[in-house]
């Protein structure tokens, strides 16, 4: 089951733990997105981390890009390519916590939309 998460708490805990909390945020977002997609295009947190390590972070930017596209499609019915590209570029500038906050906001928006139907 996917529940809304508090983005502000994630940011604070990420800052307090020197970024370690963000691994949990990343794991949770991959798990929640897999659940929202109903098992389609299932991603593995460990595979994302492995490929990101092996490609010196390039795969992680790709992962963030594709994750944003999927979340945009869930929320808006459009992949919003340009926004997803901008979001993935923020990862290169060490603003991954901003990217994850944005992605969590999209997940929360999707959940709010489903609960209001």
What confidence tens digit (pLDDT) does each residue in 62-74 have? Answer: 999 999 999 999 9
Report if residue 2 sits inside a domain: no
Report if residue 1 sits inside a domain: no
pTM of the model: 0.88
Q: Angle at CA 58, nearest 5°, toward 57 and 62? A: 115
The number of folded domains in the chain is 1
Report if residue 63 sits inside a domain: yes
Other CB atoms within 10 Å distance of the CB of residue 91: 21
- Mark the ranges of the chain whose per-residue pLDDT is less than 50: 116-117
Report if residue 88 sits inside a domain: yes
Show the domain range for 107.
Answer: 7-115
pLDDT score recorded for residue 10: 94
Report if residue 100 sits inside a domain: yes
pLDDT score recorded for residue 117: 40
Report if residue 15 sits inside a domain: yes
Report if residue 42 sits inside a domain: yes
Task: Give the whole-angstrom CA distance, residue 58 versus residue 42.
Answer: 20
Q: Please, what is the angle between helix 81-92 and helix 96-115, to 10°?
A: 140
Decide if 30 contacts 43 (C-beta within 8 A): yes
Report if residue 16 sits inside a domain: yes
Say if residue 20 is exposed, middle or buried (CB neighbours under 10 Å; 0-12, 13-18, 19+): exposed
């Amino acid at each position: 089951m996917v529940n809304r998460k508090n983005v502000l708490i994630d940011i604070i805990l990420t800052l307090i733990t020197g970024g370690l909390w963000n691994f949990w945020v990343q794991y949770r977002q991959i798990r929640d997105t897999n659940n929202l997609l109903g098992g389609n295009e299932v991603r593995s947190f460990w595979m994302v981390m492995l490929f990101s390590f092996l490609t010196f972070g390039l795969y992680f930017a790709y992962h963030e890009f594709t994750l944003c596209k999927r979340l945009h499609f869930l929320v808006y019915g459009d992949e919003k390519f340009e926004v997803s590209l901008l979001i993935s570029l923020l990862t290169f500038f060490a603003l991954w916590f901003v990217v994850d906050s944005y992605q969590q906001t999209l997940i929360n928006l999707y959940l709010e939309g489903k609960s209001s139907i």
